[in-house]
């Protein structure tokens, strides 16, 4: 879903504002030497009117993980840098106290309660926080934009330390910040995955890095936008001001507006991209021994799975009869153009 700026209206705090009714201010970016440079958004005309979405297709579509389903996610690639070193060190040590993983047997089947359509909220938020941690820790440059700088736009009235941009936050600090927002706003696990997609899209489109100086405001902007896109009853900007009591509505509105512009108003997340990020988060959890809790398969859940399998079996049977094939026909004699070859698991 692309937003057409020529006809769309944004509702910010109850006021309808046309996307093209103002001239976008120049954004400010800090380079590696700390110098501040002003620049216009890509595709922006000199008069301040935004370019039509059809005229500014992203040039690197084939290399953008937030758009292309086959491009590797940035966080998983960056996590491998440290995981490789950690894995080598752990191979030389004997760890007897490591928690044992539950394995299925003939009598018991272990399943976790997280699926691609209904992820586990707590574990998904933990994984997203871990992905952000690796983004910060293994960043390759220090590109920043003023709107995300916590020194220039503090989230609290507390004094920001002089070395706020030096030390990378720990995973538990990132998780605490994200968890607080999700619990207070009652956001879903799917929203956490969309947040990560928008975050990586921002890094690609705006050519900015997530650093100790800007990670909170980048994450806040991504959560704000993801909650409005995903949830039918989205949290208003003023509600976030109740969670972060020292931030103003005007600051939240400006953060949202500039975040949208840097995404080039591309808030579409294909289902294939969503699924890729979900499974890459599970891979990240497994690599870091952040396991999803597994429970024995109960009779009630087994009956639900069996019912779902029977529905799918009836669908396949109907396709067979529609194409003049018998139910017991060998799948080797069925062409891929006639019906999709899929295996059906039925618990009995």
According to DSSP, the residues that pair with 16 across neighbouring strands are 11
pLDDT of residue 43 exceeding 50: no
Average pLDDT on 330-335 reads 51
User: What φ, ψ does residue 293 adopt, rounded to 5°?
Assistant: -60, 130
Q: What is the predicted pLDDT for the residue at 107?
A: 67
Query: From residue 22, how far is each of 25, 41, 51, 98, 263 by CA, in Å?
Result: 9, 14, 13, 58, 18
- Using CA atoms, how far apart are residues 101 and 290, in angstroms rounded to an integer? 11
Give the number of other Cβ atoms within 10 Å of residue 241's Cβ: 17
pTM for this model (two decimals): 0.69
pLDDT, the chain, mean: 75
Average pLDDT on 167-192 reads 93
**Which one-letter DSSP state was computed for residue 182?**
H
Q: Minimal CA–CA distance to 196: which of 172, 212, 174, 168?
A: 174
Q: Which domains does the chain have, with CATH numbers?
A: 121-288 (1.10.472.10)
- Using CA atoms, how far apart are residues 292 and 290, in angstroms rounded to an integer? 7
Please say whether the beta carbons of 176 and 122 come within 8 A: no
pLDDT of residue 40 exceeding 80: no
**pLDDT band at residue 240 under the 50/70/90 scheme:** confident
- Using CA atoms, how far apart are residues 213 and 54, in angstroms rounded to an integer? 34
Residue 61 C-alpha from the chain's centroid: 18
Structure token pair of residue 137:
């820790």
CA dihedral 77, 81, 83, 85 (to 10 degrees): 160
């Amino acid at each position: 879903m692309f937003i057409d700026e020529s006809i769309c209206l944004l509702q910010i705090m109850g006021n309808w504002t046309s996307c093209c009714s103002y001239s976008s201010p120049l954004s400010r970016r800090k380079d590696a030497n700390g110098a501040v440079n002003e620049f216009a958004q890509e595709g922006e005309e000199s008069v301040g009117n935004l370019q039509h979405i059809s005229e500014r297709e992203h040039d690197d579509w084939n290399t953008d993980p937030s758009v292309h389903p086959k491009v590797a996610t940035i966080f998983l690639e960056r996590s491998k840098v440290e995981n490789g070193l950690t894995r080598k060190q752990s191979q030389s040590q004997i760890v007897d106290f490591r928690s044992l993983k539950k394995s299925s047997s003939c009598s018991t089947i272990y399943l976790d309660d997280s699926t691609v359509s209904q992820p586990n909220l707590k574990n998904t938020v933990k994984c997203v926080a871990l992905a952000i941690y690796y983004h910060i820790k293994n960043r390759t440059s220090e590109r920043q934009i003023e709107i995300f700088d916590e020194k220039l736009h503090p989230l609290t009235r507390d004094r920001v330390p002089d070395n706020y941009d030096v030390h990378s936050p720990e995973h538990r600090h990132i998780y605490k910040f994200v968890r607080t927002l999700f619990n207070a706003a009652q956001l879903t696990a799917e929203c956490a995955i969309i947040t990560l997609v928008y975050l990586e899209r921002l890094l690609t489109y705006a050519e900015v890095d997530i650093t100790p100086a800007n990670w909170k405001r980048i994450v806040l902007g991504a959560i704000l936008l993801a909650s409005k896109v995903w949830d039918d009853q989205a949290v208003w900007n003023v509600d976030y001001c109740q969670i972060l009591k020292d931030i103003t509505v005007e600051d939240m509105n400006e953060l949202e507006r500039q975040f949208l512009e840097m995404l080039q108003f591309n808030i579409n997340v294909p289902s294939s991209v969503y699924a890729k990020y979900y499974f890459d988060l599970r891979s990240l959890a497994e690599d870091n021994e952040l396991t999803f809790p597994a429970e024995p398969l109960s009779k009630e859940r087994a009956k639900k799975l069996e019912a779902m399998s029977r529905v799918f079996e009836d669908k396949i049977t109907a396709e067979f009869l529609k194409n003049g094939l018998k139910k017991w026909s060998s799948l080797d004699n069925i062409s891929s153009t006639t019906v999709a070859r899929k295996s059906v698991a039925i618990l009995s």
